[in-house]
Structure formats: C-alpha cells, structure tokens
Chains A and B, each alone.
Chain A
Amino acid sequence: MSYDIYSQVQMMKAVLGLEDGTVIKGTGFGAEGTACGELVFTTQFTGYEEALTDPSYKGQILMFTYPLIGNYGVSGERFQSDNIHAEGLVVREACKKPYHYKSARSIHKFLEDEGKPGIEGVDTRMLTIGAREHGTMRAALITGSDDGEEAVDVARNFPQITDEELIALVTCKEPRFIPGAEGAWKGSGKPKHAVVVDLGIKRNIINNLHKRGIDLTLVPATTKPKEIAGYEPDLLFVSNGPGDPEKATDAINAVKAFAGTIPVAGICFGHQIISLAMGARTYKLKFGHRGGNQPVKDLVENRIFISSQNHGYAVDADSLEGTGLYVKYLNANDKTVEGVSHKDLDIFSVQFHPEAQAGPMDTEETFFGKVVKVLGGDL
C-alpha cells in the first residue's frame, strides 16, 4: 500500500498488461477504467498536451520515455483536437502540482475530465527496450485494479478496432469550410482553396494552411472524388491520421483522381496515402518513429533537419520505382523514407510533421512555403 505524500490518502491501484504476458504494476491516475491499444512510446520530453490530443494516437496507449510528465500542467492552448485521443497514458511520474502561468489544470485532472486512465511509477525504460526488441505490442491499462492476469487477458483479447473504424472515429462528420486568414495570402489573384481530407487532422496543420491565407474545406474521410471536385479545389491535401494507410481507400481514390490535375500534398498518414495512390507500397515499422528529435536528410539540399514524427508505418523506398515519385527526405537514423516528391507533377508529401506541435519547427517554412508556392503564391 502506498500513500500520496501530500494528502496521505490511499492511492489508486493500476496495472499494465502486455500481450506477451508482461505485467507492470503502478499507481493509477486520471479516470478509473480500462484502456486497450498498442503500447507506443515517444521520446519527446515536452508536448504531452499536444500529443494526447493528436488524433493519430487513436487506438494507442501512449508512453513517454521522459520520466516526468505534467510538470507545466495543461493550458488547453495547444490542443491538436477537442479531446484526448490516446487511449491511456504511461509515465514514470505524473506531476500533481504543476506550476506555469498558463496552466489551467494538472495532467491528473485533464485525464480525469476526459475519462482516460493513466499509470505512473512504471519502469518506462524497460518497456521501451521491450518495444525496441520485440516490436510494438497490444496492451491493456487498468486503473482501480492490480489484477495482472486480467490485464494480460484483456491485452490479448480486446476486440480489435478495424482501421476503417479508427479513421471513422477521428474524421470530421460533415464538410467544414474555414476561410484563410484575411490578407494573409501573398501572391497574385484571389486566395486559393484547398480541400483537406480529414483523417484526424491536427489543429496546427489547419492553422498553418489558414495563416498563409489559404481557404480550406475539410471533408470526411469517405468523401468521393466527385464530391471533392464540386468544391473546385486548387489543392488536395491529405491529413495525418491513425492506423494502416491501406485501409483509407476513399482517400487513396481521391488522390488517384486528382493527381496530375491539381497539386496534391500530404503529411504523415497523408504521405503514405499519396504514395499508395501513386502505386507505391507501405509497411509497418517494428516500433515506429515517435519523438521530436528525428533527423531527416533533404537529399536535394543535402542538409539535415530535425523533425517531429509520429508514425508506425512507412513507405517502401524500392516500391517508388515507376511511380514518378522520388525520395526527397530520408530518415538519417534508419534510412527509411520521410518524404517524396513527384518528378513531373506537383505532388509532394512528408512523413514527418512540419507543423510540429509538439516538436521542432525547423521544417515548417520549407513545407508550407512549398504549398504556397505550388498554389502560385509568393514566398
């Protein structure tokens, strides 16, 4: 039995079970309940508010390798969507008494308000090494209980959400028009219009397009090409999102329909979808890239940028042959594809997150500047 040293009240039990039978006990925080999903880790030491609300984490239990999470509280200013999308949170220590002039609540309260369970007091480094060596695993996080057997059982048997369902959970229900920031469009003619296929888009991608004066229409994941054409877009943009890109069939079809007619761009999941639509293949990485320190090499400029990343799948470099796409960015660590461009057409996409939030902003101008450029704007 352990005590909270502030209030001397008994603390909530919690247990994490993995599909390989690993059981980790800790202290629960946030909501009481059960979370199921893939256990994934991110190496970023700031940005928990952004990560938790990133829809790409849908269906995943998020673990931070940095041991202290919640130090500066939660402000709400940098949410990437309206809610927490990660299924649960695993940390070494969650900070109960945050201090920051913007903090509105603690991470405990945040999880509690959002009905998500968290576990702390965990040897997260051991779990990270496990993921590195054995690949990503299914996991169950139960708060209010320390029944390890049950947790493992749930981890092995929870009903798998299909990837189609995953996307349905995070995409917008109805099309939504967002006008570009007034007077922000730089270039000749009136502001351009982009249709954005929303597969769980991060708010800061919208912000980045918006602040450059581009009008946006966000459309649901299942929107058909004909309907998109009805919006008369100048650009088709495919967003980030969770799961296996091969299952985003409508989005793939949309890209196929517009490639070569208008510029097409995408980020992360969108990048995978664009590559698939052009005839490339994707595959699942052993444990993915999640963090704010990933080096990508711009093969054209021959320079390295540090990027924010969050992806479990990648585009197969060999499969790009014959698609017209070439590798523009390579991950300097494991040499996986981090971005492609088309040799003739205005089609380009990046696997990393130039919009950051969380993470470094080194590639923001390069990527979004290019979006403006293909739309005929001035840099």
Chain B
Amino acid sequence: MPKREDIKKVLLIGSGPITIGQAAEFDFSGSQACRSLKEEGVQVVLVNSNPATIMTDPEMADSVYIEPLDARIIEKIIEKERPDGIIAGIGGQTGLNITSELAEMGVFEKYGVQILGTPVEAIKNTEDRELFKETMLRIGEKVPLSKAVHSLKEAEEVVEELGLPLIIRPAYTLGGAGGGIARTKEELLEITERGLRRSRINQVLIEESVLGWAEVEYEVMRDANDTCIVICNMENIDPMGVHTGESAVVAPSQTLTDEEHQMLRSASIKIIRALKIEGGCNIQYALKEGDYRIVEVNPRVSRSSALASKATGYPIARVTAKIAIGMTLDEIINNVTMSTPASFEPALDYVITKIPRWPFDKFTTADKTLTTAMKSTGEIMAIGRTIEESLLKAFKSLDIDSQLGIKRWEEPEIKTLLKTPTSERLFVIFHALERGMSVKEIAELSNINPFFITKIKRIVDMEKRIRTEELTPDFLREVKKMGFPDSRLAELTGKKREEISDLRHAAGILATFKMVDTCAAEFQAATPYYYSTYEDTCETNPTDRKKILILGAGPIRIGQGIEFDYCTVHAVTALREEGIETHIINNNPETVSTDFDTSDKLFFEPLTMEYVMNVIECERPYGVLVQFGGQTSVNLALPLKKELKRRTDLDTVIMGTDPEDMDLAEDREKFYLLMQKLGIPQPEGGYATSQQEAIEVAQRIGFPVLVRPSYVLGGRAMEIVYDEIDLERYMKEAVRVSPEHPILIDDFLEAACEIDVDAVCDRKDVLIGAIMEHIEEAGVHSGDSACVIPPQSLSPEVLDQVRDYTRKIALGLRVKGLINIQMAEKGGKVFVLEANPRSSRTIPFVSKAVGLPLAKIAAKVIAGHSLKDLGYTDEPKPKHVSIKEVLLPFDKLPGADPVLGPEMKSTGEVMGIDYDFGRAYYKAELAADNLLPLTGKVFLSIREADKPELVEAARKLQAAGLELMGTRGTVNYLAQHGIFMDTVKKVHDGSPNVIDMMRRDEVDLIINTPTSKQSRKDGYRIRRAAVDFKVPYITTIQAAVAAADAIETMKKGQDLTIKSINEYHKEMEQ
C-alpha cells in the first residue's frame, strides 16, 4: 500500500524531559520519525517540553512547539495547527498516555484528527493490565497469574490467592515506576499504596512471581498489510525480577536453542497481530526450561527498540513513522543496503552488550537494589566478536572509576550481593570468581545462567595468566583478541599504558574495524557504522578527504545529559555543511549522535584513549574535536594531546581551544592568577591537599565555605560546609573521590544571585548567546537551578559587567569555540565562580531561547571561520521570556532526600516560553510535572533565614485565593506581618499532620525549605511524602517567590501563549 494521500500534516508528541526510565532514546526515535515523515513530503508539527533535544531544533519539523506535554495545551496546539493525524508511539510512555487522554477527552473527534499507526485500542489492551491479560488468554498465550486491584484491601486478598513474593505493576507508568517486588505483606501494602497513587487510572496489577526465570525480549514490527518481522531478540543477563532497563543485556540471545527462539518468535508475531499494532513493538518474556510467560508488551518504540536499532542497524522509528502513514514494509527501502526492502530480519555477526549507568554515586542514601522499577539514568552499548570482548568494552564504556578487579568485597557480603541484584553485581561476580568461588555456586546464588558466568571466568582466568606470563607477541595477540584494553594490561603487568601500546604496535597488533550492516555481510552495505576488534581484515576504507573526529559524551548520567549529545550532533552537522568528512566516536545507544546517518562514519566504541587512538591510527583525521562531548571528552583532551605528540607517526591535531588552556580553566591556581591579571573578582578561595591545609584555608576565608574536588562532573561531592567538624568529615570523603587532585575551597556567597553565560569565541570576537539569571540562589548547583532569559532582576550595569568579564575571560583563555562562565552577583558586585571552555548543559536551552545554533557556530569557528564572516556578532534580544526548569528523579529513587544543594541531582530539563515571567514559569513548572495550583491549599514550612522573603510571596498566594497553612514558626512569623492562617502539627508531634493531609489529598502545594544538614528529619519526611504522594512541592524560597508570581499572573486570567519556536524566532528577526 502506498502512503496515504489524505495525511498531509502530522502531529508528533515527544517524551518530555530526560528522567529515569525515559532517556535520550525518544529524541533518537523522534528525530528519526521527523526525518522519515519529511522524506515522504508530510508536514510535521512537533511538541516537546525538552529543549535539549535534536527533535526540537527548529529545522527538524515544520512547526516546533516547546510546550508542556499537557493534554489541554496540546489540544490548543491541535486547534491551531489542525493536523490530519497524530502518531502516538514515538514519544514513549508520555506520548502514549497523552494520546490516550486526548482520545478520552474527545479532542481527536472534535478536530478530525486520525490516530495513525498503532490504534488507541491496542494501547489500552497492553497498558491496562486486566485487558492485557484477557487479550493474551484469548489468543492462547500464557501470562503470569495476576489480579488487578484498586485498593489495599483487594491487595491483601491477593496474598491468600497467589502467595508471596508478588510483583506489583501500576498501570500506565513509566519504566515500572511505582512498582516493585513484595516479599512480605507489609511490603505489598506499602508498594501498592505508592503504585495506586502513580497510576493514571488508580490500578495496579499484582502478579505471580516468575523471579529467577530468564528474561528475553523481542522487537517486532507489523504493517497494515499484516507483514510481521522480528528485528532482533535480546537476552537479559540478570534473570526476572530486575527491570529490563536495569539489566545487563546481550543481543542476540546467547543461550536459547532454535526451538526456544522460534517458539518466542512465533508467539511475538501472534501477539502483534492480535493487538493490531502498526509499527514497532517490544515484547518481554520470562523463559524457563521450554516454558514461558508473557511479561509485558510495549506497543511503541522504547528504550529497547533504540537499543535494537543500534544493535542491528535497523531504523525502527524511521520505519514505524512510514508505516503510520500507510506504507508497507516491502515498499520501504532498507537504508543500510539501499537496495533491499525494510521487510527483512537483521542478522548479527557480533555480540552486543548493554549495561545501564546508575546515579548511585549521587544518591548515597538511595536504595541501590535493582528491582522491577528503573533507577538508571542511561546506558552504554559495546560491540565485540565474543562475549568477553563485548563485556570488556562495555565496562570500559561505563566511564566509572570502579572498573573490573578494582573494588573488593568480603565473604558474607559477596553472597548477599550475588543473591540481591544491585548495580555492582557483575563486579561482584568477577571478584567472587577471583576469590575462587565456583561458577556453579555463583549461578545458584544469582540465578544467572552459568554460560555468562563462565565467560566472566574466562576473563578472570586470563587475567591470572597475564599477571604471570610474559607478554610475547603471540600472547599479546591472544589477549587483545579476547578484548583486554591496554590500560587493563598495564595494570595487570605493572607496565605503563604507553608501553603496552608500543609493544602492540611493534608486534603489528592493530585494531581492525568491522561494519554493522544488518545482514552479517551477506549484502554489500552502505552503512558507515563500525566497531573495533582484533581480526584479519579491516573494512573502513579511509578516504583522502579532510576528516575530523568528534568525541561524543558517552552514557547519560546526572551532570552529563543529553545536552552534550545535542552539541555533538550540531558540531557534526556544521562540519558536514562545510564539506568536511566528520566521524563520531561514542557508546551511548540511545542518542541521535549514534544514529549511523548522523555522521560520515560512526565508531561505536568506548571513549578512552586507546579506542580513540585506534580510530585516529586507522583514519588519520586532520583533527579531533574534544569540546562538545562534556566532561568525558574534556578529560581526554590533555592526555590525548600528549599522546598525539608522543606518536610522531601521526599528525592529527586537537582543534579548537587548546587543551592546555582548557586545563588552565580547570586548574584552580592558574585560573586564579589569570583572573587577577584580568582584574576580575572571584570569591576568596584556595586549595588544599591535606586536612590541615583545608582548615587553614577555611579559617582564612571564614565559614561557610564551598568545597569540592577539582575535575569532576556535575559538582559531584561539592558541599557547603558550615564548620570545622563538617570540613573534617568532608575531607575524608572527598579525598577518596579524586585522589590525584586537590580540594578546592571557596567563600560561599550566601544569598547571591547566580548567573550563567554561554558564548562563542574565535580568539578575536566574542558572541554572547545569552545571560541567564538563576532562580535559585548560589549554592544550588547551577545544573539544578531554574534559570531565565532575559534576566529579570539584574541591573543594566551588572549585565554590562557580566558581558565585559565574559569577553575578557574568553579572550584570556584563548577560547576557540564554546565557553560557559558562571558568575554570582551580590550587592551589585559580580564575581566569577568558574569558566568552562567547552560545551555546557545550557547550550541547547540558550539556542532555542534566542534562536542561535551556538554549537554549530562554534564548530564553524573551529573549522576556520571568524564570527564576523559567519555574521554573528550581536547578542540576541528576545521579546519573550524563556525559563529552564529541571526535572529531579526523587520519585524514582525511594529514600533519597528531595532537596537541592551544590551537588547536581537533576536528570533532565524542560523549557517554558511566554511573554512574561509568570506565565513562562507556570509553563515550566507544568512541564516539569510540578503543577502550580490556582485553587486549594498551600502548606508552608520555612526555615528562619528565608522568612523575610516569604512575606510578599505568602501575601500574593493568599490574594490569589489560595488557602494557606503552616507549621507553628512559619504561622507565627507571618501573623506578625498581618498574614493569618491555620497551624498544622509538626510531623514528630503526631497526627493529624501534613503527611496525613497529603495522604488524604488535602494539600495542593508544599513549600518546605530545608534547615541545616543535621536537623532536617522532619523536613525530609514532609518532602519525601510530597514526592511519594505526588503533591507539587518547592524547596527553595526563590522558587516559592517565583511560583507566587506565576500563580498571581495566571489568576489574572491571561491565556497561555501557544506559539511555535519558529514563530518566536521569527519575531526576533523583525
């Protein structure tokens, strides 16, 4: 069937901010879908609240709306744009839920919008657990015994029927949020209560446990013609009980016989046909000795489908979009071979390993156990010809300190950690094998297939040999073939990495690159997608063109999110526009940068010196770009420069800002001297390598001080320290964090206003993208603070000062490319906090707010253009207000304290745009799933220092018709200022207190600012309850003030503006 002629305009809904359970994969699938539809001449209207995405680039769709993913707002967009159809399955669970909601509201009928691709009925049949069970039983497929419940009483009854343990799955939630495994009745009630709250339809499914069964997934596609194909299958290394997003996964399946594989493959086709899904779909099975249960069906593209796309080279989202507009699989060309149709099943001739990346280094109090709910923020993928090679490359890609064989555990702990899955289990297995525990015992404790444990044992055994045997050329070849990185060989032999590298080169043992081509070499492929291994032939065929290699950002983690992938993609696009052959090296399967048609060549490899050098040796690029991939690639800058210098046979250079200058900005002392030279004030500070030194510096500056190790990501281990005892405790922790680098100690500017600037410099001129004013005060990590463009409270003099400092610093650091500078204003004086001569996490936000593609401009500057040539000289002056708000992952991490501090905790961001601060802030909060109430009750519990600022805000809230209440201290203080309200008991004073009220849905907003670190137990319980009961909450006084402004504006009855960013940008040109 050719494409439908009646569909001329399509609405695509994105997935919103990056959060646990929903990472960059939907940017990848969304942008693929946009391109795919545009290829067919269909107009695309896109809505997403996340500015840090490629899909929200103004050129990706015909109209791009960066607006909250809220059904009422989307209805307005539909009213304005009048699309012919909507595709539901591209924006993940968020997109699916909103489509269901809009359908229930009757919006599609009202405006004549057709649901394209997978019908709403199919969504219901998979998402509603009870309907799903019925559908499966009807077609004769087996699902675990289960019961859908709507109350705690019903839950209790299930125990009688199904026994314990039980699995709890809330309907319509993301990444298993709110679900879990209950081993006791108490746990069951606790999880069920939480789950009922989370579920859009107040329903959870309580399910018989298939814990310990193997978990296998299938990615299936179907078109309207009923052609069904299986893109690939994947096998989880962790058995059932761990969410598939939390499990290490291999593809294709390794331990399934053809009989088992075909059994599940046939079942998958039966299921996708029964559900009438059109497009991609993911099916998860539990498998044990030839018997299976269907665990879950996702009728949409997913994190697994992104992984499957990267694992096979098959563009699932691209094909899904074309199926949605009526095309059939045999009509769609496989753009890997360019000659065969999309109606084939990929064949792999390599092993894929995926390992998740968890944020537990950030949330030390959070529970690290892996369950059916997701906790990871991102993932990496590695490709090798054997399991060992694939695993070893995967570990390298994680970019974490505790690599294999580094961390050790003691006997009783090992057994517990083998039994209970945690983020460290693979490392524990490795260590247990090193200590001589048998494969059998580990398999019994962990329920992991001994096949995988045996593979790890082979690595352990080989390590033993490497420790003792001489690294002869033959032996070196053998270990390289197994996948050992040079750095590990260096550790095991006591040699330097460079020595191993030289040994290898002397023996002619060089990496060979193989192509990922969807067909195991059966057909000639055009995919420029490669991975390294050590075999006989290399397939890259380097050209003679001028080439540049760009280092990507690796896995999404807190502090290094999708923003850096955005920058990487923009840099690639810019260089390709310049006619330069551009290559990417990266290892994150979720992203646009690892889509093989983003760059001229994609190298799917760990981001470490060796793997980067392998690409350089093979391709001999003219230059390498290190400033776009965030801290991961910046950390490689200087070592890479040194290595390139050492390797006289290579003339590749590092382009853009010199790594030495980047280092200067990171080096406290050097930077301090430069600021002095430039006459730019900094908060007083110093550095220390010992506890004694630290105390001396702190005493000199005076407490409170801001302490942090140098060279870290997202302010890891950054803290505000109020006294000497606290400092001593900190020194013990911090030294462990970064042993080679000293501790930085700065004067903490209390109640200062923080400012961020993003700029591009060509060593002559400086283009300021925007000055951002933070809403939260200095002390909250800049990555966690909401911020606004243009600044709302800074005087013109202050802004000029900021501009002046920005120019001086950019030129002083000899920046070529991007620079981000953080400053603070206190009493009209501007201080520079830090300068980062590289891409920053605000680049996409700024680019969308002011309509300047900063990362692209930077890449062109690096390629040799001047800002003048490019025509970018003036700082843009937007007429609208843009606010960036962050998304915090507390709801996904039971036990973590939902409070902001100097250490970054947010996973993603949203943007609110409108013509005044109030409405823009309201939109930003709405987009961040923190709906500001316009009626109802607000609970206030404010620390002493914040109380003066509260008065005005409280008055506004009361004037807006909201009912206030608070704890005694807050109530008394406001009474003194003529604001009267009810007192609510403190939590430790017993019931009824605010937590009881939240449980009864009697509070609409919680404003609670935390007191100092030691005495915040009460506050913690309130904040935690707000998260668990899904009550909007605010934890800083500045946000409370902003919220009061927003509520006040909204109550005046002004409509929210519905405009695409294309329109906003156009207005700026006028």
A124 to B329, CA, bound (A): 30
Task: Decide if B451 is an interface residue (CB 8 Å cutoff).
Answer: yes
Are A293 and B258 within 8 A (Cβ)? Answer: no
Task: Decide if B387 is an interface residue (CB 8 Å cutoff).
Answer: yes
Are B225 and A123 within 8 A (Cβ)? Answer: no
Number of interface residues of B (CB under 8 A): 59
Interface residues of A in 76-102 (CB under 8 A from B): 77-78, 92-93, 95, 97-102
Other-chain residue from A128, A302, A362 in contact with B520 (beta carbon distance below 8 A): A128
Are B341 and A43 within 8 A (Cβ)? Answer: no
Are B524 and A98 within 8 A (Cβ)? Answer: no
Other-chain residue from A77, A102, A360 in contact with B266 (beta carbon distance below 8 A): A360
Interface residues of B in 467-522 (CB under 8 A from A): 474, 478, 481, 514, 519-522
**Residues of chain A lying within 8 A (CB to CB) of residue B341:** 295, 304, 332-333
**Residues of chain A lying within 8 A (CB to CB) of residue B461:** 5-6
Task: Decide if A258 is an interface residue (CB 8 Å cutoff).
Answer: no
Are B225 and A360 within 8 A (Cβ)? Answer: no
**Residues of chain A lying within 8 A (CB to CB) of residue B465:** 5
Task: Decide if A282 is an interface residue (CB 8 Å cutoff).
Answer: no
Are A92 and B386 within 8 A (Cβ)? Answer: yes
Most buried by B among A49, A67, A100, A294: A67
| Chain B proximity of A137: nearest CB distance (Å) | 15
- A-contact 0/1 string along B30-61, CB 8 Å cutoff: 00000000000000000000000000000000
- A-contact 0/1 string along B689-719, CB 8 Å cutoff: 0000000000000000000000000000000
**Residues of chain A lying within 8 A (CB to CB) of residue B537:** 123, 125-126, 129
Task: Decide if B635 is an interface residue (CB 8 Å cutoff).
Answer: no
A102 to B341, CA, bound (A): 38
| Chain B proximity of A250: nearest CB distance (Å) | 33
Interface residues of B in 410-462 (CB under 8 A from A): 449-451, 454, 458, 461-462
**Residues of chain A lying within 8 A (CB to CB) of residue B523:** 132, 333
- B-contact 0/1 string along A334-346, CB 8 Å cutoff: 1000000000000
Are B522 and A291 within 8 A (Cβ)? Answer: yes
Task: Decide if A356 is an interface residue (CB 8 Å cutoff).
Answer: yes
**Residues of chain B lying within 8 A (CB to CB) of residue A121:** 481
Are A302 and B225 within 8 A (Cβ)? Answer: yes
Are A333 and B340 within 8 A (Cβ)? Answer: yes
Are A361 and B262 within 8 A (Cβ)? Answer: yes
Are A128 and B451 within 8 A (Cβ)? Answer: no
**Residues of chain A lying within 8 A (CB to CB) of residue B450:** 97, 99
- A-contact 0/1 string along B243-276, CB 8 Å cutoff: 0000000001111111101100110010000000
Q: Which of B18-26, B226-234, B1012-1020 contacts A (4 or more CB under 8 A)?
A: B226-234
Task: Decide if B115 is an interface residue (CB 8 Å cutoff).
Answer: no
Most buried by B among A43, A46, A361: A46
Are B521 and A129 within 8 A (Cβ)? Answer: yes
Chain A interface size, under 10 / 10 to 19 / 20 to 34 / 35 or more:
35 or more
Task: Decide if B162 is an interface residue (CB 8 Å cutoff).
Answer: no
**Residues of chain A lying within 8 A (CB to CB) of residue B5:** none
**Residues of chain A lying within 8 A (CB to CB) of residue B385:** 67, 92-93
**Residues of chain B lying within 8 A (CB to CB) of residue A93:** 385-386
- A-contact 0/1 string along B343-360, CB 8 Å cutoff: 111111111000000000
A93 to B347, CA, bound (A): 17
Task: Decide if A45 is an interface residue (CB 8 Å cutoff).
Answer: yes
**Residues of chain B lying within 8 A (CB to CB) of residue A295:** 229, 330, 341, 343-345
Given A46-B258, A304-B343, check contact A124 B349 (CB 8 Å). yes
- B-contact 0/1 string along A15-49, CB 8 Å cutoff: 00000000010000000000000000101111101
Smallest Cβ-Cβ distance to A73: which chain B residue: B257
Other-chain residue from A46, A97, A304 in contact with B454 (beta carbon distance below 8 A): A97
**Residues of chain A lying within 8 A (CB to CB) of residue B253:** 46
Are B258 and A47 within 8 A (Cβ)? Answer: yes
| Chain A proximity of B478: nearest CB distance (Å) | 6
Other-chain residue from A2, A99, A303, A360 in contact with B474 (beta carbon distance below 8 A): A2
A95 to B254, CA, bound (A): 11
Other-chain residue from A2, A49, A65, A100 in contact with B255 (beta carbon distance below 8 A): A100
A253 to B474, CA, bound (A): 59
A332 to B339, CA, bound (A): 10
**Residues of chain A lying within 8 A (CB to CB) of residue B874:** none
A306 to B266, CA, bound (A): 11
Are B521 and A125 within 8 A (Cβ)? Answer: yes
Task: Decide if A358 is an interface residue (CB 8 Å cutoff).
Answer: yes
Given A97-B454, A99-B450, A362-B269, check contact A306 B350 (CB 8 Å). no
Interface residues of B in 305-364 (CB under 8 A from A): 329-330, 340-341, 343-351
Task: Decide if A349 is an interface residue (CB 8 Å cutoff).
Answer: no
Are B348 and A303 within 8 A (Cβ)? Answer: no
A304 to B514, CA, bound (A): 30
Are A332 and B343 within 8 A (Cβ)? Answer: yes
Are B520 and A332 within 8 A (Cβ)? Answer: no
Are A43 and B535 within 8 A (Cβ)? Answer: no
Are B258 and A50 within 8 A (Cβ)? Answer: yes
Other-chain residue from A24, A67, A77, A334 in contact with B349 (beta carbon distance below 8 A): A67
Given A92-B385, A99-B451, A332-B344, check contact A66 B258 (CB 8 Å). no
A154 to B256, CA, bound (A): 37
Task: Decide if B536 is an interface residue (CB 8 Å cutoff).
Answer: yes
Given A67-B351, A67-B385, A304-B343, check contact A359 B257 (CB 8 Å). no
**Residues of chain A lying within 8 A (CB to CB) of residue B350:** 67
Other-chain residue from B225, B478, B519, B524 in contact with A303 (beta carbon distance below 8 A): B225
A124 to B347, CA, bound (A): 14
Smallest Cβ-Cβ distance to A46: which chain B residue: B258
Are A125 and B522 within 8 A (Cβ)? Answer: no
Interface residues of A in 46-79 (CB under 8 A from B): 46-47, 49-50, 65-68, 71-72, 75, 77-78
Other-chain residue from B261, B330, B351, B522 in contact with A332 (beta carbon distance below 8 A): B330
Task: Decide if B869 is an interface residue (CB 8 Å cutoff).
Answer: no
Given A50-B258, A97-B454, A295-B343, check contact A128 B521 (CB 8 Å). yes
Smallest Cβ-Cβ distance to B459: which chain A residue: A5
A50 to B262, CA, bound (A): 13
Are B254 and A332 within 8 A (Cβ)? Answer: no
Task: Decide if A311 is an interface residue (CB 8 Å cutoff).
Answer: no
Are A303 and B227 within 8 A (Cβ)? Answer: yes
| Chain A proximity of B57: nearest CB distance (Å) | 35
**Residues of chain A lying within 8 A (CB to CB) of residue B524:** 132
A336 to B1032, CA, bound (A): 63
A75 to B866, CA, bound (A): 69
Are B255 and A99 within 8 A (Cβ)? Answer: yes
Given A93-B386, A293-B344, A332-B341, check contact A66 B349 (CB 8 Å). yes
**Residues of chain A lying within 8 A (CB to CB) of residue B519:** 43
Task: Decide if A9 is an interface residue (CB 8 Å cutoff).
Answer: no
Task: Decide if A300 is an interface residue (CB 8 Å cutoff).
Answer: no
- A-contact 0/1 string along B605-647, CB 8 Å cutoff: 0000000000000000000000000000000000000000000
Are A45 and B348 within 8 A (Cβ)? Answer: yes
**Residues of chain A lying within 8 A (CB to CB) of residue B262:** 46, 356, 358-361
Are B386 and A123 within 8 A (Cβ)? Answer: no
Knowing that A99-B454, A360-B265 touch, tell me 18 more A-B residue pairs with CB under 8 angstroms: A5-B458, A44-B258, A44-B347, A65-B349, A67-B385, A92-B385, A123-B537, A125-B521, A129-B537, A132-B524, A291-B522, A293-B345, A295-B341, A295-B343, A303-B225, A332-B340, A332-B344, A361-B262
Contacts A/B (CB < 8 Å), 15 sampled: A41-B522, A45-B347, A66-B252, A67-B349, A67-B351, A68-B254, A97-B450, A100-B257, A128-B349, A128-B522, A291-B347, A293-B347, A294-B344, A332-B343, A333-B344
The 3 closest A-B pairs by CB, nearest first: A47-B258, A293-B345, A43-B347
